[in-house]
Amino acid sequence: MKLLIQIARIIVGVLFIFSGFVKLVDPIGSQYKFQEYFSESVLNMEFLIPYALPFAVLLIIAEILLGVMVLIGYKPKFTVWSLLILTLIFLFLTWYSAFYNKVTDCGCFGDAIKLTPWETFYKNVILIVLILLLLIKIEFIKPIFKGKIPKLITFLSLAGFLFIVQHVLTHLPIIDFRAYAIGKDLKEGMKYPEDGAIPPVHDFMLEDTQQDLAPILLEKEKVLLVIVYNLEKADKSGFPAIKELAERATKKGYTVYGVSASFSDDLLLAKEKYNLPFEFLFCDETTLKTMIRANPGVMILEKGIVTQKKNFIDVDEIAL
Q: Give per-residue pLDDT as tens, 248-304.
A: 999 999 999 999 999 999 999 999 999 999 999 999 999 999 999 999 999 999 999
| Cα–Cα distance for residue pair 19/115, rounded to 1 Å | 12
Residue 252 burial class via C-beta count within 10 angstroms: exposed 0-12, middle 13-18, buried 19 and up: exposed
The answer to whether 14 touches 57, Cβ cutoff 8 Å, is: no
Secondary structure (3-state) at 209:
coil
Please give the pLDDT value at position 271: 95
Domain with CATH 3.40.30.10 in the chain: 186-317
Taking the alpha carbons of 273, 274, 275, 278 in that order, is the dihedral positive or negative? negative
Pick the CATH number of 186-317 from 3.40.50.920, 3.50.30.50, 3.40.30.10, 3.10.300.10: 3.40.30.10
One-letter amino acid at 283 equals C
Within 8 A by CB and 6+ apart from 311, the residues are: 170, 171, 172, 292, 293, 294, 297
Q: What's the confidence (pLDDT) of residue 102?
A: 73
> In the prediction, which pLDDT does 109 show?
67
| Whole-prediction pTM | 0.89
pLDDT in tens, 178-233: 999 999 999 999 998 888 788 999 899 999 989 999 999 999 999 999 999 999 99
pLDDT at 110: 62
Q: What angle do CA 126, 200, 117 make, to 5 degrees?
A: 25
Pairing of strands 223-228, 305-311: unpaired
String of DSSP letters for 80-131: HHHHHHHHHHHHHHHHHHHHHT--S---TTTTTS---HHHHHHHHHHHHHHH
- H or E element, residue 58: helix 52-72
What type of residue sits at position 214? A
Residue type, 129: V
Query: Is residue 106 predicted with pLDDT exceeding 70?
Result: no
Q: Look at the chain and count its residues.
A: 320
Radius of gyration of the chain (CA): 22
User: Nearest-5° angle of CA 264, CA 270, CA 273?
Assistant: 145
- Pair 298, 257: CB distance under 8 Å: no
pLDDT score recorded for residue 104: 67
Better-scored residue on pLDDT, 9 or 114 = 9
Q: Model confidence at 40, in pLDDT bands (50, 70, 90)? A: confident
In this prediction, residue 318 has a pLDDT band, given cuts at 50, 70 and 90, of very high
User: Cis ω on the peptide bond leading into residue 296 (within 30° of 0)?
Assistant: yes
Residue 27 CB contacts under 8 Å (≥ 6 apart), including other chains: 53, 56, 57, 60, 165, 168, 169
